[in-house]
A and B are shown apart, each in its own frame.
Chain A
């Protein structure tokens, strides 16, 4: 048995000393610990020590490299960035992207002529394996998966099959408002982001 008082409570099979064998002081000691926690959480319901996030109202902090649900970006005039080139659908190992193209009145951005856009753009987000290959394959930066909305919170499987307009509006939905953090471990220096993450508003309207 160690004589070091620091290790007093680490020996499971040691004999109780006199005060411990009376039970009562030890009971009071335990009560003071649990009631101490109670008193720091209960008065005025101030909850000083609780760490619970009440999810639908309170958003989780997500790490900046989280790959969340997909969304489609817009150009600065509000039109859809996607040109229906099928690159993402081809890159997809799980075959969850279905794109149907349609022709539009040709118009010119700074560097190119745009005459196509997706008529339908459907992603089955339950079959998706969230590998991010579609994001890498996209030549137009039209599809993204970022830490903005990681949660797939749905009531039925049909809701997970998301079409074009919903993908465009994803940033405005309730799930699309998580805080992006660069520092998953509190008290440590934040990690250096390898690239600049633009604010979400900006990211939608980024121009090429």
Chain B
């Protein structure tokens, strides 16, 4: 087989594992996890009635039941809605997040079947910038949804979406500049690889981590920054959506949680590495090559191990995000804006300056 064919097949397999298998699977599980975790945090029981052949599994089949319900529900479109934009909005909202997953590394580079296969779907040099561009585009999902659905509250929600998302994207970008300065690269796969033998990002940029986390939660449009949705006041930009179109917005939100977990893991918590300052995978891989005498098999086993470590960390950060969502009370709208512009932004600039000064000295 020539190298191109291997790379194409490997990309398809990586897409299947990371996007279809891991990200979508985890996002689907998170719909169940959110209900179950919130209920345990509030001393309730949560969903436990859905069953497959009488097996309840602590309500785990609920996420299948929810999905089936979403698909078969009536899809109502308002008479005065702009049909084209109305159909376009949920697609924009979900697809941009899904594309972003391609730029996240989940393993090192291995020699498989005679080709160097990087464990990242799209190993392009501008990875993180593309993620920001896509997250900027995904704002249009929310904005167009409220704008096209001929509803005042929906329009209010979409205005809030645009204001909030743009405000927090500034902080999100600026905090990451600190990581880029420390690591000396904007490539996510290089940043991930560099944390193998060295310090993790959180030790180099502890302050940047907190700022990024806060701004990231705001970007996922969930409580305490759930103003665009505002379930308890205006129902938000997807007010007029029903059935699977609403399901796409909701699912996009959960994929965003997974994406934020992936970015946090990659940038600040050593991506697929087990321990900070200690490179575990290089000796393990070398030992496997020596023992098995087959680089492909050794590479696959090491990649699987790295992916498992990565997946565990991502799942942990999803858990933390859900815990934050069910603990903190929501902001008022002016508080969100003030927090973004007058608190997070100056602090992220300060973080940047301090990082620069320390690096110069």
Chain A interface residues toward B at CB < 8 A = 24, 27, 30-31, 33-35, 37-38, 41-42, 45, 47, 49-52, 54
- Indicate which residue in B44, B210, B327 contacts A34 across the interface (CB closer than 8 Å): B327
Q: Measured between alpha carbons, how far is A27 from B45 in the docked complex, in Å? A: 25
Which 8 residue pairs spanning A and B have beta carbons closest together?
A: A41-B40, A34-B327, A49-B43, A34-B41, A38-B41, A52-B45, A42-B40, A30-B327
Given contacts A31-B324, A37-B43, 9 further A-B contacts (CB under 8 A): A27-B328, A34-B41, A34-B326, A37-B40, A38-B40, A38-B323, A41-B40, A50-B40, A50-B45
Q: Does B42 contact A (CB under 8 A)?
A: yes
Known: A27-B328, A30-B328, A45-B58. A35 touches B41 (CB 8 A): yes
Q: Does B296 contact A (CB under 8 A)?
A: no
Which residues of the other chain, A, contact B323 by a CB distance below 8 angstroms?
31, 34-35, 38
Q: Chain B nearest CB: distance from A10 CB in Å?
A: 17
Which residues of the other chain, A, contact B42 by a CB distance below 8 angstroms?
37
Q: Does B37 contact A (CB under 8 A)?
A: yes
Could you tell me if B43 and A41 are in contact, using CB atoms closer than 8 angstroms? Answer: yes
Which residues of the other chain, B, contact A35 by a CB distance below 8 angstroms?
41, 323, 327
Chain B interface residues toward A at CB < 8 A = 37, 40-45, 48, 58, 210, 323-324, 326-328
Could you tell me if B40 and A51 are in contact, using CB atoms closer than 8 angstroms? Answer: no
* Nearest neighbor of A45 in chain B, beta-carbon distance: B58
* Residue in A41, A47, A52 whose Cβ sees the most chain B Cβ within 10 Å: A41
Q: Chain A nearest CB: distance from B222 CB in Å?
A: 15
Known: A38-B37, A38-B40. A47 touches B327 (CB 8 A): no
* Nearest neighbor of A42 in chain B, beta-carbon distance: B40
| Interface pairs (21), CB distance under 8 Å | A27-B328, A30-B327, A30-B328, A31-B323, A33-B327, A34-B326, A34-B327, A35-B41, A35-B323, A37-B40, A37-B42, A38-B323, A41-B40, A41-B41, A41-B43, A49-B43, A50-B44, A52-B44, A52-B45, A54-B45, A54-B48
Could you tell me if A37 and B41 are in contact, using CB atoms closer than 8 angstroms? Answer: yes
Specify the main secondary structure of chain B where it touches its partner: helix
* Nearest neighbor of B37 in chain A, beta-carbon distance: A38
Q: Measured between alpha carbons, how far is A171 from B43 in the docked complex, in Å? A: 34
Could you tell me if B210 and A24 are in contact, using CB atoms closer than 8 angstroms? Answer: yes
Q: Chain B nearest CB: distance from A91 CB in Å?
A: 42
Which residues of the other chain, A, contact B58 by a CB distance below 8 angstroms?
45
Q: Measured between alpha carbons, how far is A35 from B41 in the docked complex, in Å? A: 6
Q: Measured between alpha carbons, how far is A49 from B44 in the docked complex, in Å? A: 8
Q: Measured between alpha carbons, how far is A49 from B43 in the docked complex, in Å? A: 6
Q: Chain A nearest CB: distance from B322 CB in Å?
A: 10
Which residues of the other chain, B, contact A54 by a CB distance below 8 angstroms?
45, 48
Could you tell me if B327 and A31 are in contact, using CB atoms closer than 8 angstroms? Answer: yes
Q: Measured between alpha carbons, how far is A42 from B40 in the docked complex, in Å? A: 6
Which residues of the other chain, A, contact B45 by a CB distance below 8 angstroms?
47, 50, 52, 54
Which residues of the other chain, A, contact B324 by a CB distance below 8 angstroms?
27, 31
Q: Measured between alpha carbons, how far is A24 from B207 in the docked complex, in Å? A: 11
Which residues of the other chain, B, contact A33 by a CB distance below 8 angstroms?
327
* Nearest neighbor of B43 in chain A, beta-carbon distance: A49
Q: Measured between alpha carbons, how far is A45 from B327 in the docked complex, in Å? A: 20
- Indicate which residue in B43, B210, B327 contacts A51 across the interface (CB closer than 8 Å): B43
* Nearest neighbor of A52 in chain B, beta-carbon distance: B45
Q: Measured between alpha carbons, how far is A6 from B326 in the docked complex, in Å? A: 26
Which residues of the other chain, A, contact B48 by a CB distance below 8 angstroms?
54
Q: Chain A nearest CB: distance from B348 CB in Å?
A: 15
* Nearest neighbor of A26 in chain B, beta-carbon distance: B328
Q: Measured between alpha carbons, how far is A41 from B43 in the docked complex, in Å? A: 7
Q: Measured between alpha carbons, how far is A34 from B323 in the docked complex, in Å? A: 8
* Nearest neighbor of A48 in chain B, beta-carbon distance: B43
Q: Measured between alpha carbons, how far is A49 from B323 in the docked complex, in Å? A: 18
Q: Measured between alpha carbons, how far is A47 from B58 in the docked complex, in Å? A: 12
Q: Measured between alpha carbons, how far is A30 from B328 in the docked complex, in Å? A: 7
Which residues of the other chain, B, contact A38 by a CB distance below 8 angstroms?
37, 40-41, 323
Q: Chain A nearest CB: distance from B221 CB in Å?
A: 19
Q: Chain A nearest CB: distance from B110 CB in Å?
A: 37
Q: Measured between alpha carbons, how far is A69 from B58 in the docked complex, in Å? A: 33
Q: Chain B nearest CB: distance from A47 CB in Å?
A: 7
Which residues of the other chain, B, contact A42 by a CB distance below 8 angstroms?
37, 40
Q: Measured between alpha carbons, how far is A33 from B328 in the docked complex, in Å? A: 11
Could you tell me if A50 and B43 are in contact, using CB atoms closer than 8 angstroms? Answer: yes
Q: Chain B nearest CB: distance from A38 CB in Å?
A: 5
Q: Measured between alpha carbons, how far is A38 from B328 in the docked complex, in Å? A: 15
Q: Measured between alpha carbons, how far is A14 from B51 in the docked complex, in Å? A: 51
Which residues of the other chain, A, contact B328 by a CB distance below 8 angstroms?
27, 30
